[in-house]
Structure 1
Amino acid sequence: MQLIDIGVNLGHESFDHDLDAVLARARAAGVAQMVVTGASRAGSPKALELAQAHPGFLYATAGVHPHHAVEVTDECLAELRALHAHPQVVAVGECGLDYFRDFAPRPAQRRAFERQLELAAESGKPLFLHQRDAHADFMGVMKEFEGRIGPAVVHCFTGTREELFDYLDADYHIGITGWLCDERRGLHLREIVKNIPADRLMVETDAPYLLPRSVRPMPSHRRNEPVYLRHIVEELARDRGETPERTAAASTATARAFFGLSEPA
């Protein structure tokens, strides 16, 4: 079983002391490749550094999460544009809107989102998107760029059935995380993930966040890591009524096509 984790925050400080062991555990669990999320002005260059240090195994995105929208200045955009020129950077983002926490003013979020969509239109690279409690505005901004941007994946999908079908109607891809395994918040996902076409479905851990709550034994440190991607795929396969091997093969093929990844040697 070969897996691709399309969203993992390996630049997070919690991985600083044991990154090599984390990567080794991931490989042993069948994770063949990973896309390291760049979500801030400082984090995006770090994601590229990790990808360059592990060619063919790690890749990167470069963008600014809506929590950090105030970072998106002209200078920041120039830095992101330079990062997008690297072949190891396979997507623009993480970018989007987050009205759940409102860590940045909403007008600043929308402007930062629009400016990063402009970068995606320039580069032609896929989009790695974030949306939480901002669906109407998110879809409105995306519609303004219809026909100018390439493929897009809504990372860490946690939304409603209606939101899912809006994304599928817009031809977006969907990233599923261990949120699926949360009996408090993720039960609705178990009912709707079967509606995602295989060629639009990808999987991710969003580590170190969102440790699947159904993992047993539950690790004492509570840190998520890519080794648990296999568990997510097994749960997802059960909810879709298919074998884990089929879910793994389809999501891996979809991720390779979406991000333009070569098969590892």
Structure 2
Amino acid sequence: MMDPGFAEIARAIHGVSGLALSPDKGYLLKTRLAPIMERRGLANLSELARRLPTADGPVLLRELAEATTTNETSFFRDGLPLRQIVDQVLPVLDATHPPGTPLRIWSAACSSGQEAYSLAIAAAEAGIARRLDILGTDLCSAMVSRAREGLFTRFEVERGLTPAQRSRWFREERGGWRVAEPIRRQCRFEVANLLGDLRGLGTFDVLLLRNVLIYFDLPTRQKVVTACTAQLAMDGALCLGATETLLGLTVPLVPLPGLRGLWRRG
């Protein structure tokens, strides 16, 4: 039997993060929120829901939203689009942008930063000489802190990286492997909500919005893609995840010919 507090909690989380939780996700929700409920001595979702209108509500809701985000990521995850960006998109942008200016890249919903670092590594390996300004953002402050630290476990660096890449771009130290300074200098990380005001982030030449739209319902996808496209330079490129599409959305974007998962302004 579904906990009667599920619907209220799901609505509240959707309002903050956009995550769409269907009724069959009751067990998942309870599992993800169990540590929060245990810390507060709450027995079920109904008791948790009754806390939301209290003075503790805003802080609690932030915790709920962060606890239910999916932080699955890896280095060079679905690497083809990254290679396409480095081999075909960045050279065109490099040729058309004024000398001395950086190319701005946004890794949205970056989790612990592997996507941002992967792109910086791929660009360095491809000999991209122009400076890159790569911004990674995520709703979860704990993930952003990890990304800033740039320290990864052996399992994480062995997942997606070749031994040669690990040796060249990482430094082994107590506690794991840290991204080498030349790569870290190109990447910075901030907490940001894709449902919030994104205008302060500025304009980007490349926007990676991968593996996040799958968690949203159609109205939320429309809102997020519209807001993100507004931050895309007129000659910029948007990259979606392998299973994601803009089908059903009204946005001024068209596929980049011959490139998988990449879009430009139409």
Larger radius of gyration: 2
Q: TM-score, normalised by structure 2?
A: 0.31
Relative to the length of structure 1, the TM-score reads 0.31
